[in-house]
């Protein structure tokens, strides 16, 4: 947490995640990736099933990061009063729903033991939830870095940015 004064009027307090939290998030994400990779590496059955599940996991992972950024950008746009790109929210949420739906469908239709299917499903959902947490942690750190950089650049630059935005 860093404290400074913005334009000598009020203190700016930038909240940061603790190092322990950041470590926990990265370790959790690493464990999730390891569990998914292990489950897919030893997946009994056809190579096509394994390839489909790898693509599904990667598709879900990429849509998690896109959705996380889109949600944060929507919040920022609402606060600043900016207009959103038309239909972007539908594209992002639709992509996430398709990724999750197709991966779930592929998992359910595979001809493997129910216990193995449950392992793959739980590790997949763990990957998705830990990726959301990682995305939020990375974005929070980036925004804290930006706030501190703006504060260090001084009131002259901040007022110039405010004039340019107006």
According to the model, what pLDDT value does residue 14 have? Answer: 75
According to the model, what pLDDT value does residue 5 have? Answer: 47
Decide if pLDDT at 29 tops 80. Answer: yes
For the four alpha carbons of 46, 50, 120 and 63, in that order, the dihedral sign comes to negative
Banded model confidence at residue 4, pLDDT cuts 50, 70, 90: very low
Tokens of 164: 């340019």
Instruction: Quote the pTM value.
Output: 0.78
Q: Is residue 166 included in any domain, yes or no?
A: no
Decide if pLDDT at 164 tops 90. Answer: no
Q: Is residue 154 included in any domain, yes or no?
A: no
Q: Is residue 105 included in any domain, yes or no?
A: yes
Q: Is residue 28 included in any domain, yes or no?
A: yes
For the chain, the domain total comes to 1
Q: Is residue 148 included in any domain, yes or no?
A: no
Q: Is residue 41 included in any domain, yes or no?
A: yes
According to the model, what pLDDT value does residue 9 have? Answer: 62
For tokens 């992972």, name the residue: 61
Owning domain of residue 41: 2-141
57 close to 127: Cβ distance less than 8 angstroms: yes
Q: Is residue 150 included in any domain, yes or no?
A: no
The DSSP result for 38-104, as a single string, is HHHHT--S-HHHHHHHHHHHHHHHHHHHHHHHHHHHHHHHHHHTPPPPTTHHHHHHHHHHHHHHHHH
Banded model confidence at residue 20, pLDDT cuts 50, 70, 90: very high
Q: Is residue 64 included in any domain, yes or no?
A: yes
CB hemisphere CA count around 147 (13 angstroms) = 18
């Amino acid at each position: 947490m860093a404290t400074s004064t913005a334009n000598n009027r009020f203190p700016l307090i930038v909240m940061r995640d603790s190092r322990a939290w950041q470590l926990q998030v990265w370790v959790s994400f690493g464990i999730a990736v390891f569990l998914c990779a292990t489950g897919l590496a030893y997946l009994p059955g056809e190579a096509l099933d394994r390839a489909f599940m790898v693509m599904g996991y990667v598709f879900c992972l990429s849509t998690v990061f896109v959705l996380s950024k889109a949600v944060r950008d929507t919040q920022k746009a609402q606060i600043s009063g900016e207009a959103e790109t038309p239909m972007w929210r539908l594209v992002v949420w639709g992509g996430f729903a398709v990724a999750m739906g197709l991966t779930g469908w592929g998992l359910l239709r595979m001809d493997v033991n129910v216990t193995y299917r449950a392992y793959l499903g739980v590790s997949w959902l763990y990957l998705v939830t830990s990726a959301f947490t990682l995305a939020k942690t990375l974005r929070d750190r980036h925004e804290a870095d930006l706030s501190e950089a703006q504060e260090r650049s001084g009131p002259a630059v901040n007022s110039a940015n405010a004039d340019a935005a107006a």
